[in-house]
Structure 1
Amino acid sequence: MDEAFSIFLEEFGSPIESREVPPSSIQRYQGILPNQLLTYWREHGWCGYGEGIFWMVNPQDYDGVVESWLESTKFANSDKYHVIARSAFGDLYLWGETSGASLKITSILSRYSVHQSIYTGDRMDAGVRAFMVSKRVDTNDYGDLFKPAKKKLAPLHPDEMYGFTPAIMLGGADKLENLEKVKIVEHLIFLSQLTTLNPFDLPEL
């Protein structure tokens, strides 16, 4: 195990719901995603960390999600993006084939943030290590609701997230009593259809 992943595990702890990554998936993303990420897949699988607050995922499961969120945005044609990780509340970490770890979508708020990674080109493997080291438990929580939600609703499975019902973008309140366990792909596509994806820092008018 390399140092970057060791640091990540010190922050998040042991994995849960680990699934072995089939050779076909490794082959599918060879030359598309960095070799270092594929190595992590081989060694650790797709699984949850921090009791399910953060998940490493199969990007193929989220292809429709990416398309639904990014169509009609400036990102649709700027790069080819793949979801490589997500949070318990549907934060999506997207990897650009040319831009690296450059885009994050906070789905429950329909907001995005961009980061100009220095790890592009032949530095993509270093970018994966930097991505893992930079992750924190608290920044994957939402309003300190993860532990209460897990206690109330039970731990998440790989295909689930905690979602607000009604959705915040429909006027719902971001309170514990409004959280439910929902199927993540279906819920993410639903959220993508509610409103336009906007940046976190909107320019002043």
Structure 2
Amino acid sequence: MPAIPQYFLKQWGEPTQRIEADEAVLAQLAPSVPPLLIDYWRHLGFSVFKDGLMSLCNPLEWKPLIDEWLKGTELEQLDVFIPVMKGVYGEFKLFGINYGFRPVLMTLDAGFVGSREYPECPHEVCIKSLFMISPDYFLPSSNTDDFLDVFHRHAPFGPQEMLGYVPALPLGGSRDYAKLQKVDAFAYLSMLRQITGELKGVMEYADIYK
């Protein structure tokens, strides 16, 4: 019987846009990823939750873009990463298929957060912890109400859409939520990576002060 992430469903409810995971896609992923992820995708699909606040990623679609962002970073040396979740604000929850690392890529902040300590938990436990996440995680820590106003104004979001600053921050844009617009995530993030310099990584507390 397939595993069902009960805590995840309690926090997120049913998808607002259900996107089934094609069995051909799952068959292509199965040799590379833990079986529990296949079970989760079979049950949840690559669906959209909370009108697009978070979407589950089809790794076959998103991995080339993620690889583009991780190229030359410390993460590239630690593991082979696939994207599991995409937040509407451009953050990706990643999973390392070899060792179970679970960093976060924050594209709009040109950085990533994680740990260089090898996970001690089995892959199945690492995956379960990845799905122990609430909607609040994908909200900014400051001026949350203003962000939600913008989010609801543009919602719903499809699986390939997100909120991006226009103009983009590296092009002189400002972190004013009023400057956020619904954009095509693939096109926006590919463009953003081309104009973003070296990513800042926070892998332990000492890195904050570098």
TM-score relative to the length of structure 1: 0.88
Cα distance in 1 between the residues matched to 2:181 and 2:153: 9
**Deviation (angstroms), 1:51:** 2.9
Q: Percent identical across equivalent pairs?
A: 21
1:127-142 aligned within 5 A:
127-133=126-132, 135-142=133-140
Instruction: For residue 123 of structure 2, give the secondary structure of its aligned residue in structure 1.
Output: helix
The equivalent of 2:56 in structure 1 is: 56
Instruction: For residue 209 of structure 2, give the secondary structure of its aligned residue in structure 1.
Output: coil
Extract unaligned runs of 5+ from structure 2: none
**One-letter identity of the residue aligned with 1:204:** Y
The equivalent of 1:179 in structure 2 is: 180
Q: Moved runs in structure 1, 4+ residues, more than 4 A?
A: none
- Alpha carbons of structure 1 residues 182 and 95: separation in structure 2 relative to 1, 3 Å: same
Cα distance in 2 between the residues matched to 1:62 and 1:180: 21
The equivalent of 2:209 in structure 1 is: 204
The equivalent of 1:29 in structure 2 is: 29
**One-letter identity of the residue aligned with 2:154:** L
TM-score relative to the length of structure 2: 0.86
- Is residue 21–residue 45 contact of structure 1 (8 Å, CA) maintained in 2? yes
Report the structure, 1 or 2, having the larger strand content: 1
1:146-188 Cα offsets, whole Å, 9 max, x none, are: 5212332231011100111122333322222201111111212
**Deviation (angstroms), 1:77:** 3.6
The equivalent of 1:114 in structure 2 is: 114
Cα distance in 2 between the residues matched to 1:81 and 1:2: 22
- Alpha carbons of structure 1 residues 184 and 148: separation in structure 2 relative to 1, 3 Å: same
Cα distance in 1 between the residues matched to 2:101 and 2:130: 7
Instruction: For residue 76 of structure 2, give the secondary structure of its aligned residue in structure 1.
Output: coil
The equivalent of 2:75 in structure 1 is: 75
- Alpha carbons of structure 1 residues 152 and 21: separation in structure 2 relative to 1, 3 Å: same
**Deviation (angstroms), 1:50:** 2.7
Cα distance in 2 between the residues matched to 1:55 and 1:203: 29
**Deviation (angstroms), 1:105:** 0.6
Equivalences, count: 200
Instruction: For residue 178 of structure 2, give the secondary structure of its aligned residue in structure 1.
Output: helix
1:9-48 aligned within 5 A:
9-48=9-48
**One-letter identity of the residue aligned with 1:44:** L
Instruction: For residue 78 of structure 2, give the secondary structure of its aligned residue in structure 1.
Output: coil
**One-letter identity of the residue aligned with 2:15:** P
Cα distance in 2 between the residues matched to 1:30 and 1:108: 31
**Deviation (angstroms), 1:203:** 4.7
**Deviation (angstroms), 1:2:** 5.0
